[in-house]
Amino acid sequence: MNQPLDNPSGQVVPAIRVRHVTKTFGGVTALDDVSFEVLPGEVHCLAGENGCGKSTIIKIITGVYQPDAGAEIEIFGQKLSAITPTISRKLGIDVIWQDLALFPLMSVAENIAFEGMLGNVPRIARHATLRKKAAEVLTRLGVDLDLEAPLHTLSVAERQIVAVGRALVGDARLVFMDEPTASLTQSETEKLLAIVAKLSSEGVAVVFVSHRLAEVLKISSRVTVLRDGRLVGVYDTDGMTQSHLTELMTGHTFDSVVAAQDRSKAPVVLQVKNLTREGEFNNIDLTVRQGEVVGITGLIGAGRTELGHALFGMTKPGSGEIILNGAPVRFRSNRDAINSGVAYVSEDRLTLGLVQPQSIADNIVLPVLDSILDRFGLISSSKKDKTVRSWIDDLAVKIGEPTDPVTTLSGGNQQRIVLAKWLATKPKLLILDAPTVGVDVGARAGIFEIVRKLADQGLAILMISDEIPEAYFNSDRVIHMAGGEFIGEYDPRSTTISEIEGAVFA
Ligand SMILES: Nc1ncnc2c1ncn2[C@@H]1O[C@H](COP(=O)(O)OP(=O)(O)OP(=O)(O)O)[C@@H](O)[C@H]1O
Ligand SMILES: [Mg+2]
């Protein structure tokens, strides 16, 4: 049901109506006099660059943060002077957070159904009820997960599904999804978008944040655009194009051009021969040269991330050879890999990328502590400041102070800190696994500019990405991986995107 509901006086009662919302954190204005509405049953997107305030507005409506004075907030027609997370949930609002906020040691079933179960069920009945509720929700989502599996054994994509499931267990009338598809591949995304459409048809409003603009336009009927904490406007997505939306978000346009060059004469940095790890990848032969960006694309389960893990010493291959700068290597751990000049920026910034409670500065210098010691073996604060500043400037990270906890950064800015952290190790081989997950369109262009600059300086780069355009425009060669094997290779200069898409989605 996409029609707004009428109230007795004949006017539409919005699911949420916020007016004049301002929020400052110390010196940072995250939101500046923002007003917008979401109608019942509507799919409404929030769009804007990293740090423009999307997550902050969600946190205000769900009672995590209190707005500055002067804000007016109505939820399903109720004027609220103060919101707490409990009040917001009681009114039928649920959230799937950007960082998921799941419990790694609990099972799938517990993560989905736990919260609704607290207190009111006898202990013995609890487990069965929990399983039943979780199973119902997963059926509604059309997915099949092992209910007893501990969450930490799941992929990022599967954890995302668990988070969606948990939101649906309550009888939500409005669900916020903060970048729910960021770590999902094409087919999983399709599935989630179908779920969103279904919720909407059942009268549930969905407020959706995504940096994938194609998806924004496909799924939502209206989009609210924010820039630097200010409302740019609210637009119908009917007739809206990606480039127009980009322009609204950033104030300018971006053109994609193929960056591929011939690097076949450059010295070989990484050579992989016949590398196999049972059940993950088979007979991988791969060469990455100085200054070369090799893209690996394919669907989930293709074994791309597993290959990345093996090349970074996180797992041991069963057979085959890894040769770095001409010398065979056998990594016992990722420490060995780092010492040999390999860096790895992962798709999962929350578990592999950042140490959450620590400061921005500490996160950046973590892998390079040795290089910032003074002659007494203590951390030199001037060396540390210099390293931190130079990377923050280079990557244009939007921060308050380097000493702020890394958790105060917006998602996309956290991703830039992960990149800074690894680049500080001055690697010879950089493995990027979904490097722009959650990064906005402008910053993506910025990150690829940096990738290109690093390649030009001689860095060898292996880039894993399921966004084919991303691999296509930014790699010198694109490899198609499926079922644990390399099954195709393309030169972007002589191939169209649709040819590669045709092969991958065949
Ligand atoms: N707890 C906090 N303390 C200090 N600053 C904060 C805090 N939370 C958010 N900010 C700042 O507020 C601004 C908006 O952040 P927010 O997380 O809302 O951005 P976003 O639009 O969700 O970005 P992204 O797309 O990267 O997730 C940023 O400059 C961020 O650094
Ligand atoms: Mg955010």
Q: How many angstroms separate the alpha carbon of residue 59 from the centre of ligand 2?
A: 10
Is the confidence at residue 330, as pLDDT, over 70?
Answer: yes
Which atom of ligand 1 lies at the shortest distance from residue 229's CA?
14
Mean pLDDT over 180-203 rounds to 78
> Is the model more confident about 332 or about 110?
332
Mean pLDDT over 272-299 rounds to 95
Residue-level pLDDT at 129 = 78
pLDDT band at 3 (very low <50, low <70, confident <90, very high): very low
Residue-level pLDDT at 117 = 54
Whole-number percent of the chain with pLDDT over 70: 89
Q: Which residues contact 54 (CB under 8 A, 6 or more apart)?
A: 46, 47, 48, 178, 209, 226
Minimum-distance ligand to the CA of 440?
1
Residue-level pLDDT at 120 = 55
- pLDDT tens, residue by residue, 103-120: 667 777 777 766 655 555
Nearest to 36 by CA among 59, 57, 62, 8: 57
| Ion ligand 2 neighbours, Cβ < 5 Å | 55, 410-411
Residue-level pLDDT at 23 = 97
- pLDDT tens, residue by residue, 121-136: 555 666 777 888 888 8
> Is the model more confident about 474 or about 253?
474
- pLDDT tens, residue by residue, 391-447: 788 777 777 788 888 878 877 777 778 777 777 778 999 999 887 777 777 777 878
- For residues 291 and 328, what is the distance between their CA atoms, to the nearest angstrom? 21
Residue-level pLDDT at 355 = 66
Q: Which residue has the tokens 């070369």?
A: 292
> Is the model more confident about 180 or about 4?
180
Minimum CA distance residue for ligand 1 atom 11: 30
Q: Which residues contact 49 (CB under 8 A, 6 or more apart)?
A: 227, 249, 250, 412, 440, 441, 442, 443
Q: How many angstroms separate the alpha carbon of residue 323 from the centre of ligand 2?
A: 40
Minimum CA distance residue for ligand 1 atom 25: 50
Best residue among 24, 32, 46, 55 to mutate for probing ligand 1's pocket (most ligand atoms within 8 Å of CB) is: 55
Contact present, 446 and 396 (Cβ < 8 Å): yes
Residue-level pLDDT at 501 = 86
Best residue among 31, 349, 392, 410 to mutate for probing ligand 1's pocket (most ligand atoms within 8 Å of CB) is: 410
224 CB near ligand 1 (under 6 Å): no
Residue-level pLDDT at 418 = 78
Is the confidence at residue 350, as pLDDT, over 50?
Answer: no
Residue 118 is classified by DSSP as T
Domains, the chain, ordered by start: 1-92+174-180+205-252 (3.40.50.300), 265-341+427-506 (3.40.50.300), 356-426 (no CATH)
pLDDT band at 302 (very low <50, low <70, confident <90, very high): confident
60 CB near ligand 1 (under 6 Å): no
> Is the model more confident about 137 or about 487?
487
Is the confidence at residue 267, as pLDDT, over 90?
Answer: yes
